């Protein structure tokens, strides 16, 4: 250690605090000890299990009951809404399916009528052997 | 089988231990705060707060060494916090009157009061972290590793800060007081 560091050490040596410092600290500590400990929010809630029938805990129990009831009612309501929504979706899907089936049925009937017509020989020869010079779109429309 | 100690009696025992700790370490905590803040009332307030915090935590500290380490650490961090929140203006060295140094204890006089006072002023002009390191190094006689543990930083950082702080202090002393005092 250099001479300069020794000087620094000398300059920074510990100093005694003002008279009565320790007594003031101890007085504050004693005051803190004598003060009733603050009950925390969590402590007061946990106390309902330690003393379930104490009058001070009635409000807590009432709160617990109200919250539980709200949860049950909310759960049932949510379930009902969910079931109703599923039912409505099912009905809509059923209606769409029926519509699709009806359309498909009518198309099938048309096709069957056409096939029957061909089989009975009532289709004229122009339609079976169309003129290559004729308008193909007109022929197409006619077939449809 | 040991009989259970009544709560009030246990509190008295704890307060007795606490009183012993306060008396034993009051100079350390107060001096650290005083050297850092350079404000005796603020230093006393801070030191009291440190001991009150210790009082609340006393059961968690395992050994006397742990208590000392904890006191130094909490005092250091409170000093930094205090400075950060109060925004104490940094006084320029040139603005300080010669008599601005702190009074020495009546029972311990330094070898050279004038130089000591000047060094105290110069230490106060250092940046907060460097000032704290110088205090811990030269007031508390701690190694760079111990200081690193207290300030939660690498030992190499502490060493470099201390070297720079020393160089700065030495330079200022040389400028104001001459070469003779800084001879090794």
Q: Which residue of B has its CA nearest to A29?
A: B52
Are B139 and A10 in contact by the 8 Å Cβ rule? The answer is no
DSSP of chain B, one letter per residue? -PPPPPHHHHHHHHHHHHHHHHHHHHHHHHHHHHHHH--HHHHHHHHHHHHHHHHHHGGG--SHHHHHHHHHHHHHHHHHHHHHHHTPPPPPGGGS-GGGSPPPPSS---SSHHHHHHHHHHHHTS-HHHHHHHIIIIIS---HHHHHHHHTS-HHHHHHHHHHHHHHHHHHHHHHH-SGGG--
Choice among A113-117, A125-129, B35-39, B165-169 with the minimum mean pLDDT: A125-129
Tokens 């101890």 — which residue?
A26
CB-CB neighbours of A76 under 10 Å: 10
Residues 16-75, chain B, touching A (beta carbon < 8 A): 18-19, 22-23, 26-28, 30-31, 34-35, 40, 44, 47-48, 51-52, 55-56
Residue B176 has pLDDT above 80, yes or no: no
Instruction: Tell me what pLDDT residue B181 has.
Output: 45
pLDDT averaged over chain B? Answer: 79
Q: Which residues of B touch A9 (CB under 8 A)?
A: 138-139, 141
Instruction: Tell me what pLDDT residue A136 has.
Output: 53
pLDDT in tens, B92-136: 434 434 433 344 443 445 567 778 888 888 898 889 999 999 999
Banded model confidence at residue B87, pLDDT cuts 50, 70, 90:
low
Could A32 and B28 be called an inter-chain contact, meaning their C-beta atoms sit closer than 8 Å? no
Could B34 and A7 be called an inter-chain contact, meaning their C-beta atoms sit closer than 8 Å? no
Please provide the size of chain B in residues: 184
144 residues of chain A, pLDDT tens digit each = 678 888 889 899 999 999 999 999 999 988 887 876 666 777 777 777 777 777 778 888 888 999 999 999 999 999 999 999 999 999 999 999 999 999 999 999 999 999 999 988 865 555 555 555 555 555 555 555
Are A41 and A63 in contact by the 8 Å Cβ rule? The answer is no
Banded model confidence at residue B53, pLDDT cuts 50, 70, 90:
very high
Tokens for B55, please give them: 């009082």
pTM beyond 0.90:
no
Q: What is the Cα–Cα distance from B86 to A104, expressed in whole angstroms?
A: 85
CB-CB neighbours of B72 under 10 Å: 24
Instruction: Tell me what pLDDT residue B59 has.
Output: 84
Instruction: Tell me what pLDDT residue A140 has.
Output: 56
Could B139 and A12 be called an inter-chain contact, meaning their C-beta atoms sit closer than 8 Å? yes
Q: Is residue A93 within a helix (H) or strand (E), and if so which, with residue range?
A: helix A58-119
| C-alpha pair distances (Å), B127 with each of A117, B90, B94 | 106, 9, 16
pLDDT in tens, B132-152: 999 999 999 999 999 999 999
Q: What is the Cα–Cα distance from A59 to A144, expressed in whole angstroms?
A: 80
Instruction: Tell me what pLDDT residue B110 has.
Output: 56
Any B CB within 8 A of A38 CB: no
- Which of A12, A17, A18 lies at the smallest CB-CB distance from B138? A12
Q: Which residue of A has its CA nearest to B44?
A: A17
């Amino acid at each position: 250690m250099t001479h300069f560091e020794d000087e620094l050490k000398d300059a920074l040596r510990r100093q005694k605090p003002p008279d009565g410092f320790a007594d003031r600290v101890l007085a504050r500590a004693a005051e803190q000890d004598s003060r009733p400990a603050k009950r925390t929010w969590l402590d007061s809630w946990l106390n309902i299990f330690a003393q379930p029938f104490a009058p001070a805990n009635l409000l807590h129990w009432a709160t617990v009951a109200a919250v539980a009831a709200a949860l049950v009612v909310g759960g049932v309501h949510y379930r009902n809404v969910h079931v109703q929504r599923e039912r409505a979706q099912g009905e809509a899907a059923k209606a769409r399916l029926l519509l699709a089936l009806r359309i498909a049925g009518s198309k099938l009937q048309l096709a069957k009528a056409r096939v029957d017509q061909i089989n009975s020989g009532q289709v004229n020869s122009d339609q079976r052997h169309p003129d290559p010079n004729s308008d193909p779109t007109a022929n197409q429309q006619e077939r449809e | 089988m040991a009989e259970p100690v009544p709560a009030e009696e246990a509190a008295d025992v704890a307060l007795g231990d606490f009183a012993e700790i306060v008396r034993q370490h009051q100079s350390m905590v107060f001096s650290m705060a005083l050297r850092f803040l350079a404000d005796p009332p603020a230093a006393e307030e801070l030191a009291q707060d440190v001991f009150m915090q210790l009082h609340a935590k006393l059961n968690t500290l395992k050994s006397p060494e742990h208590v000392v380490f904890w006191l130094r650490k909490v005092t250091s961090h409170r000093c930094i916090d205090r400075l950060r929140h109060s925004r104490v203006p940094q006084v320029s060295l040139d603005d300080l009157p010669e008599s601005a140094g702190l009074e020495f204890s009546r029972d311990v006089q330094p070898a050279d009061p004038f130089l000591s006072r000047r060094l105290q002023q110069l230490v106060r002009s250092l940046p907060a972290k460097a000032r704290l390191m110088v205090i811990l190094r030269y007031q508390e006689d701690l190694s760079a590793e111990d200081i690193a543990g207290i300030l939660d930083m690498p030992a190499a950082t502490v060493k470099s800060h201390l070297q720079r702080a020393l160089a700065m202090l030495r330079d200022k002393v040389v400028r104001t007081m001459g070469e003779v005092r800084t001879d090794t």
